[in-house]
Amino acid sequence: MRLPSWLRLPQQTLLRHALFAVAGGILFYNLSINTSDFQQIRFAQVAYTLIAVAGLTVLVGLNGQLSLGHGALMAFGGYTVALLQKDRPTWPLWLDLLLAVLVTAVVGAVTGTAAARLRGPYLAGATLALAVGVPGLARQYFEGDTGISVPLVGSPSFLPSLVGERWMAWFSWAAALLTLVLLANLARSRLGREWQAARDDEIAAALAGIWVARVQVIAFVVSAGAAGLAGGLLAVVSVGAKPASFSLLLSVGLLAAAIIGGLGSLIGALWGSIIIVYLPVWADDLSRNFELPAKVSDNLPLMMYGAALIIVMLLAPIGIQGTLYRVVRLFRRDRVRISAAEAVTGSAPEPAPPTGSGPPAAPAAPSTHAPAAVPATPSGESAEGTAP
Amino acid sequence: MSHFIDLTLGGLTIGAAIAAIALSLVLIWRATRILNFAQGGMALACAYIAYSVTNHSGSYWLGFAAAIGAGLVGGALIERSLIRLVENKPPLNAVIVTLGLLVIIQAGLGMIYSVDQHPFVFAFDFHGYKVGHTSLQFSPASLFAVLSVLAVAVGLFVVFKYTAVGLRMRSAAFAPEVSRLLGVRTNRMLTLGWALSSAVGALAAMLATPPLISPNALDNLFVFGFTAAVVGGLDSAVGAVVGGVVIGLVLNYVSGYGTPNLSTGTALGILIVVLLVRPNGLFTRATARRV
Amino acid sequence: MRGFHRLRRTSLVPLAVGVALALAASACGTGSDNKSNSGGNGGTASTPGVTDTTILLGSHQPLTGPAAPGYSKIAPAAQAMFNYINDNGGINGRKITLKYVDDGYNPTKTVDVTRQLVQQDHVFAMMAGLGTPTHSGVLDFLNQNKVPDLFVASGAAKWGDTPDKFPWTTGYQPTYVIEGKIIGQYVKQNLAGKKVGFLTQDDDFGRDFVKGADMYVDPASVVARETYTTANTNISAQISNLKAKGAEVVLGAEIPAFVALTILGNLAADYHPQMIVSGVGADIPTLSGLLESFAKQGGKTVKGTQLIEGLMATGYLPASTDSSNSWIQLFTKVHDKYISSIPFDGNVVYGMSQAYLFAQAATRAGKDLTRQSIIDAVEKGGFTGPGLVPFQFSKTNHNGYGGTQIVKISGGLANPQGTPMVTDDGSGAINSYTTQQPAAPANGIPVS
């Protein structure tokens, strides 16, 4: 059933995404004014998590490069904002955040260049070391564990009746929507297609004239910029930049959010962020309802968090957005159109294994379920006959 | 000079444990192409089992055997139940599943044993050997650590290269379809790979955990082990051992001559330098087809 | 994912479904906002957390994560003390509840749970928030919202040094500078001429301790300054350094796990300096529990207390092994009744002492309990209780205990060396304090 032309979404990318952003903004505004002051902080947390996860999902989902170190990149943004607020208190916050984006983008360029030749688990290992090493360096060269304080955000001068928390939530979400529009536009642009081409088949992409290394570094830069903005907002909301705020748990949580939400999908980033922020809260509330010995009740929220990660992955292996998409498709009448697309891509559209190396060889372990197309020779990423 | 010797010996000791974890990660990667983030947690659970058995029976070695046994059984069980479900899915799903497993294991250990630290004895005497009047930073316990890891590494090498089981495991990993056609029970080989890997991880935990055990005790060891595996090349067991020793030594030198905070940063630096020069680790004979 | 971006038409349905879910999710959140909490959500509009019969307190604690060992016992112990007081009639007819929430020692989470306690649970006051990096993130918030922030569980000086900037916050334990000063003076007076080394935690705890000690220790005698980070339990390199430089006295600002690791490392290296450690790391049951398994000599197992024989430390509360002390007897009684499954050690004594101090302040504030009146009550100072030294509380000083006592551990007991000493955070002198500690009230209810 086709909607009349004036009711359909515009075809131009920017307009269409801007429309979504405005709609999202209106929805959020309504949500915000109808909830308590306290909830605003959670909304702000979801907002900056969303920014970081969106950047990460673009890097991992669209471009196929794995990063376990986005928490460390957020640290660069957070410390930049904190240092600027301390040493240049007259500069406005938006300027501090912009500089945080730039600084982290530069770090992303360096990291991306260093990581350009790395694939799969080696990239994972390098970014993991980043996630662990950077907080240690921050501890060493800045104020150790105490970190650098950021003054508590108060009401803005042009809206003095607005409570500080609500203002924090509003500008965090404004930043988040802006980031989403930018990332969505990039994803649909030529650059976005180049990213996906590099992810799907590096050699074919290179043959088609794409400068693969450059495109991959740009993906890192974009994703790092988003992480920098997110880190800066985290420092503002948490009233300070401290090493313990940017731990390995944060990096891992971001990746989990991206995958659970649906890799490569910006709306998926929203689902993942909501889950990552609210799941510990729900788990905590739930465990308080039972009268349990201290040992058990202290650790129950953590256990629920871990269980939730596993359960979601088993039930929705292509992420929440992927599963929603499949469910919706079951109800669509115009199946013909879709199965044509499916026929072109071959079987159900699975997200490509983002190890980013060569032709998609048998990525998973050989098991009783044979993957779709298995080349006869193993991919070049693994060594043959190495001494064990 | 004796200071340098002390630091070197200390570095070798911790390097042995790091090498063991790296080795277990390499085993799983080679067998199932999965990065097992729960490795540290699984190893720690085995150590806790040893702790309970030792406390109840009074015998350290019974506990040790229980840990290794738990590693074998636990690894096999986890592979059969949980990992089987994600083996044919996108590889990142396995990352999240193993992360979830890690969190569950740590939370569970906290529930059973509480988050407080408990004492965990060494395999042998921890007092350093005496050379003349001075005491070295190397004790019978340290010697055991180094020798046991060396023995395991050599043992695995022999198994993989020279035995039929080893050949089957390698073929199941590299050419599963053909292996199946030739009668190799590939599923069994996967389970065996995980079982062996967890047993090696349990050994690493028994060596690295003393003197204090707590649910977060092996977090760092896992990160360093992962780094070592990557530095050495995820497909190379020799690389894992060499990488482990190198990382252990570097960490100790930096802690000794510099500041402890810089030690993780230095490990990061080494990793980056190695990967810049050899993107697939030091010991991987990369046969990537470059077009 | 390939499937999404190939199609030109984006389906709005998943988005709509998701938005509906998001709204529902936040409605769950607001639902719990409106749920009335036990312990005084109602009460007078001007004093949250207080009703005629209840007082609700909040706290953030590391119950999980690497910082949790030991510290996770403090809040349950405080709650046990409150239960005991409640069972004996409460304070001015009110029963006290302590709601403590896990922040995993993550400052970002601390901000979250503290806001939740204040804005959602409407606690009367925050009590005993634990950790310097964690608590410093909520200092501004609590003071701007005029929430009493009592007895912060950290020895940093910032909680109490500036009551004009943070009028609602007070400290509790002697600051690390004070401990360092008193230990430094002991070294100067009793161990002059010996080579001194430091082994300190690489954060404010260690730095402040060194700052205090340096005011008294002869700089020429300091041969090594080693630090450790809690992230890395392998301190063999630091011990090797101390030994190589020949330090005969080692001053330690370490948490208990690292004191145990240091003792073991010293044994392994056949290195026998005189260790003097901050009270933070010197709880006897904790240490001997950690070390007992290692105390094998010639095949015989000896008690863990053997390994801490001769260790010197500081303490401002009675040692948990001192069963002749009336306060320890009281606390043991409370422990056995309410939290018998938790081992009785210095953390339990600490938590219960804090709870007792709050009870004292609340008693003094009287029936008309408001947020201002509890701060006024604390500022009047002069509380006497389990502490060996007096509090510094006054209108111009919100710091807690103003001194500590040097002890030498022998036979599992802490033997005082000299009298308790009092001083300040700055360059003030150190003086003896000889007033005796009062006896504990039998029913735990403070007299004043």
Element spanning C421, H or E = strand C421-422
Among B32, B101, B265, select the one facing A136 at the smallest CB separation.
Answer: B265
Cβ contacts (< 8 Å) between C7 and chain A: which residues? 338, 341
Preferred mutation among A63, A250, A299, A357 to probe B, highest tally of B CBs within 10 A: A299
Q: How far is CA B274 from CA B114, B167, B175, B230, in A?
A: 40, 30, 29, 9
Q: What is the DSSP letter of C203?
A: S
Cβ <8 Å between A145 and C7: no
The whole-angstrom separation of Cα A129 and Cα A117 is 17
Interface touch B135/C270, C-beta < 8 Å? yes
Q: Would you state the pLDDT for residue A334?
A: 55
Cα distance between residue A179 and residue A172, in whole Å: 10
What is the tens place of the pLDDT at every residue in C355-368?
999 999 999 998 88
Residues of B with Cβ-Cβ distance to A351 under 8 angstroms: 90
With CB atoms and an 8 Å threshold, state whether B121 touches C294: yes
The segments of chain B whose pLDDT lies below 50 read 289-290
* Predicted local distance difference test score (pLDDT) of residue C296: 66
User: Would you call A129 and B34 a contact, using CB atoms and an 8 Å cutoff?
Assistant: no
How confident is the model over C311-332, as a mean pLDDT? 92
* Nearest CB neighbour to C257, from listed B117, B130, B219: B117
Confidence at residue C303, expressed as pLDDT on a 0 to 100 scale: 67
The 10s digit of each residue's pLDDT in A79-114 is 999 999 988 888 888 899 999 999 999 999 999 988
Among A275-279, A344-348, C165-169, C387-391, where is mean pLDDT lowest? A344-348
In our burial notation (b when 16+ CB lie closer than 10 A, e otherwise), range A173-198 reads bebbbebbbbbbbbbbeebbbbbbbb
Chains that touch C (3 or more CB pairs under 8 A): A, B
DSSP codes of every residue in A241-264: E-GGGG-HHHHHHHHHHHHHH-TT
Residue in A276, A303, A377 to test binding to B, most B beta-carbons within 10 Å: A303
**Cβ pairs bridging A and C (under 8 Å):** 169
Please report, in angstroms and rounded to a whole number, the separation of the first and last CA atoms in chain C: 69
Q: What percent of chain A has pLDDT over 70?
A: 83
Query: What is the rounded CA–CA span in Å between residue A213 and residue A194?
Result: 11
Beta-bridge partners for C61: C102
Q: What percent of chain C has pLDDT over 90?
A: 52
Domains of chain C, start order: 54-173+322-401 (3.40.50.2300), 176-315 (3.40.50.2300)
Answer yes or no: is pLDDT of C18 > 60.
no
Check CB contact under 8 Å for B100 and A387. no
* Nearest C-alpha in A relative to C113: A281
Q: Which stretches of A200-283 are assigned E, i.e. beta strand?
A: 240-241
Q: Which amino acid type is present at position B5?
A: I
Cross-chain residue pair B3–C66, CB shorter than 8 Å: no
Q: What is the pLDDT of residue C234?
A: 83
What average pLDDT is seen over chain C? 85
If you measure CA to CA, which chain A residue comes closest to C3? A349
**Tens digits of residue pLDDT in A154-169:** 777 777 777 888 888 9
* pLDDT confidence bin for C3, thresholds 50/70/90: very low
Dig out the tokens for A159 from the structure.
Answer: 């809206």
User: Residue C261 and residue B135: Cβ atoms within 8 Å?
Assistant: no
- CB nearest to C29's CB, from A39, A45, A237: A39
In B, which residues are within 8 Å of C64 by CB distance? Answer: 107, 110, 115
* CB-based burial, C253-271: b 16+ in 10 Å, e otherwise: bbbbbbbbbbbbbbbbbeb
Q: What is the pTM of this model?
A: 0.83
| Range name among B17-21, C43-47, C370-374 with the lowest pLDDT average | C43-47
Rg (CA), chain B: 19
Indicate the residue of A118, A255, A318 with minimum beta-carbon distance to B279.
A118
pLDDT given at position C346: 92
pLDDT value at residue A73: 96
- Tell me, yes or no, if B251 comes closer than 8 A to chain C by beta carbon: yes
With beta carbons under 8 A apart, name residues in chain C contacting A144: 202-204, 207
Segment C209-221 mean pLDDT: 94
Count chain A–chain B contacts defined by CB atoms under 8 A: 245
Of B274, B86, B92, nearest to A64 (Cα)?
B92
Amino acid, single-letter form, for residue C235 = I
Task: Report CA Rg, chain C.
Answer: 24
Tokens read off for B182: 């030739």
pLDDT of the residue at B286: 57
- pLDDT grade for C184, boundaries at 50, 70 and 90: very high
Q: What is the pLDDT of residue B171?
A: 84
Contacts of B156 in chain A (CB under 8 A): 388
Chain A residues near residue C132 by CB distance under 8 angstroms: 145-146
Q: Using the predicted structure, report yes or no on whether residue A234 has a pLDDT greater than 80.
A: yes
Chain B nearest C-alpha distance from C296 (Å) = 9
* Residues facing C408 on adjacent strands: C312, C415
Other C-beta atoms lying within 10 Å of the C-beta of residue A69: 29
* pLDDT over 80 at C79, yes or no: yes
CA distance between the termini of chain B: 51
Mean pLDDT along residues C65-85: 89
Report percent pLDDT > 70 for chain C. 88
Chain-chain contact of B268 with A133 (C-beta, under 8 angstroms): yes
Helices (H) then strands (E): counts for chain C: 14, 15
Interface of C with B (CB under 8 A): 63-66, 68-70, 72-73, 202, 227-229, 231-238, 240-241, 244, 257, 260-261, 264, 267-271, 289-294, 343
Q: Chains with 3 or more CB pairs closer than 8 angstroms to A?
A: B, C
For A379, nearest residue in chain B (alpha carbons): B288
pLDDT at position A371 is 33
User: What is the arithmetic mean of pLDDT over C137-142?
Assistant: 90
Distance, CA of A354 to CA of A195 (rounded, Å): 11
What is the mean predicted confidence (pLDDT) over A111-123? 85
pLDDT-derived band at A287, boundaries 50, 70, 90: confident
Alpha carbon C415 to chain centroid, angstroms: 23
**In angstroms, what separates the C-alpha of C433 from chain A's closest C-alpha?**
33
Residues 6+ apart with CB under 8 A from B198: B24, B39, B42, B43, B46, B71, B72, B74, B75, B76, B78
Residue C404 has φ and ψ, to the nearest 5°, of -165, 180
pLDDT of A178 above 50? yes
Task: Report the chain C residue with the minimal C-alpha distance to residue A63.
Answer: C1
- What lies within 8 Å, CB to CB, of C330 at 6+ separation is C440, C441, C442, C444
A386 and B87 within 8 Å at the Cβ level: the answer is no
Backbone torsions φ then ψ of C314, nearest 5 degrees: -120, 160
Question: What's the rounded Cα separation, in Å, for the pair C180 and B38?
Answer: 42
At residue C19 the predicted structure's pLDDT band, cuts being 50, 70 and 90, is: low
All structural domains of chain B with their residue ranges:
2-217
Q: Is C380 helix (H, G, I), strand (E, B) or coil?
A: helix
Single out the residue of C114, C164, C122 nearest to residue C141, CA to CA.
C114
Q: What is the mean pLDDT of residues A229-241?
A: 92
- On the CB side of B30, CA atoms within 13 Å amount to 35
Of A248, A300, A366, nearest to B186 by CB-CB distance is A366
DSSP state letters, B86-119: HTTS-HHHHHHHHHHHHHHHHHHHHHHH-SS-EE
pLDDT in tens, A330-388: 877 655 444 444 444 444 444 434 433 333 333 333 333 333 333 333 333 233 223 33
